[in-house]
Structure 1
Amino acid sequence: MQELLSKPLFSIGDKFDVTLSQLLLAILFVIIAALFSHYFSRFITRKILAKFKLAEDNLVILKRLIFFILLAIITVTVLSFFNVPLTAFAFMSGAVAIGVGFGAKTVMDNFISGWILMSERPVRINDIVEYDGHLGRVIEVGNRSTMIRRIDGAHMVVPNSSLLQANLINWTLVDPNIRTSVRVGVAYGSDVEKVKEILETVLKEHESVIDDPAPSVIFEDFGDSALIFDLWFWASVGAVRELRVIRSDIRFNINKAFQEAGIVIAFPQRDLHFKFDEKSSFPITISDQRNSSKPQDKGEE
C-alpha cells in the first residue's frame, strides 16, 4: 500500500514527480478549505459585518467574495505545502475546456449572470418583483438561480440568465412605496361631495398611506348600477402581502364609514315591468330597467 501511494503518477518536467498520496492529500485539503471558507465567510458576515447595518444583498456579495478569496488562498497554500505546483493540474485543462464547451455553457451563463445581478443590482433581496405574470418577493440571489416567493407561498426558482434577459418589473427598486387603488360604487342619488369627503378621510387616517405624493379620489364613471369612485394612493410596504392587507383595511374602513353616514354601497339590480293585454293574461311587452335602490344587505360592488 505504501508503495502504491508513493509511486509517481506523472512527472512535471524532469525534476518533479507527483505521487498518488500527494494528489489525494491535496484534493482532501481543498475540500476542507472549501468547507472552512464557507463557514468562515458566513461567520464574518453574520457576526461582524451585520453590525454595520448593511443591506442584505450587500452582505451576500461580501460573503461570496470572502468565500472565493479564502478558497483561492488556502488552495494555493496547501498545494505549495505539499510541493504540488499548480501546473500539476494542467493535464485537466483539456477535459475542463471540453466540459465547459459542451455541458457547462448554461451553468457558466447563469453563474456570470448571477454576478451581474449582484453587481448592477436591478434585483435585490426583499424586492417585490413581477416576473412572467407572477408577483412575489426576492428571497435569494444565488450563483446559478434566483428564488422568488410568490404571493401564494410557492417558490419560483428562476435561472439568472432568464431573469437578466426578461422584461422584469421591480416594484421597489428605488423605494418601498407602491401605488395602488381601491374601487367602490355608491347608489345613484348619493351625495357625491360627501362620498368624496369620507373617502379622503379614510385614506388620510390610514397609517400606511403616505402623504407625498398625496392620495386622490376620482369620480370615475356613471355605471349601470352605481356611481363609481376610484381611490388612488401610495403605500409603504415591505412585503407583497402587506399591500393586500392595506387595501383590505381601507375597504373595511370605507364600509364602516358609509354605514355610519347612511350611504349605500350599490350592487346590480333590475326592475322588470310587465304590460298585459286586455284580452290575454300573458304579457305582450316586458321592459327592463336597471337601478341601484337601497339593498336589504349592503355589500361591496
Structure 2
Amino acid sequence: MTKFSVLDLVPVREGGTLHEAFAASAALAVKAEDVGCERFWVAEHHAMDGIAGGATSVVLAHIGNATRRIRIGSGGIMLPNHTPFQIAEQFGTLDALFPGRIDLGLGRAPGAGPELQRALRKNLNQASEFFPQDVVELRALLTGDVDLPVTATPGLGANVELWMLGSSLFGAQLAAKLGMPYAFAAHFAPDHLDAALAVYRRDFQPSSALEKPYVMVAMNVFAADTDEAAETLASSQQQSFVALRTGKPGKLPAPIADYTASLPAPAGAMLDHLGQAAAVGTPQKVRDQVDAFVQRTAADEIILCGSTFDPDARLRSLEMTVDACAKIAV
C-alpha cells in the first residue's frame, strides 16, 4: 500500500497573520495524524512574505506539541544555509522532545540571492560545493560512526531519520551512494523525475539505516466536491507560483474562479508543466490521477502539497484525498 504524508509551507495568506499561519499548520498536522498520514514535513524558506517556515526546527517543535504520533520533519533543511553542527543540535533536541518521530530531510539548493547570503553570513555557492561532505559530517554527529573532534549535545545518539531531497540527478546519486531514502520535489520541478528515480534505484548502496531504495514523491493535490470547486481551490497556489516565477512573490492570495483561462500563454504553459505532478478535482478524479502517478513512479510514499487560502478547505481536501486513495498499491 502506498503511504501518504503532508508537506506544508506554513503559508501566510493576504490579510492574515503569522499567528494564524502557525495555528493553521498545527491544525493541518493534527488532521494528517487523524487520517493516518505517515509524516508531516515543513519546508525551509527565507525572506518570503507568504511563507513562515524559515525557523524550521522551531516550527517543528510547535507541530510536535500539537500532535502525538505522526512523524514530523523538514522537507527540507537547506544545509548550505547552516553548519552541520547546528542542525545536529537542533534535530537532536527535537528527537529528545519527540522521541522516535523526527525526520531530517536535507536539500542542497540554498535558494538565496546576494542580500540573503549577506544576512546569513554565508558564501552559499561555496557551501553548496561542500554539501556531500556536510551531509556525511552531519550523519556522523548524530550517529558517531566517524570520530569527530567535537560532540553535539543534544545530537549524538539521536534517533533521527535522514532523508535526501532533490529535483535533479545530483540528489539521487548522493542518496544512492549514502544509502538514504530519497524524496523528489516533483511538485515544483518535475523535469528530471523519471531519470532521477531510475538512477537512485540502480545505484543504491545499502546502509545501516536502509537496506533497499525507498522513494517519496511530492504532488500538488486539491480535492473538493466538484472539479470546478477544486480548480478554484488550487488557484491560490497557482497565483503564488506565477507571482514567484515572475519575480513578484507575496502572501497567498484569495482564490479566483477559472483563473487559468485569463493567463498569458507562458504562465499557462508553466502551470500545465507543473500539472504533470498534480491531482485536482473530485475525490474519484484525484484518486485516478494519484493512482496513475504512483504507477508511473512506483513511489513508496506520496507527500501531498497544496496551499489553500481557506485553511479549513485544505483540511477537507486532505481528508477527501486520503480516504479516496486509501487502497492504492504500488
The TM-score normalised by the length of structure 1 is 0.18
Higher relative contact order (CA 8 A, sep 6+): 2
Structure with greater Cα Rg: 1
- Structure with the larger strand share: 1
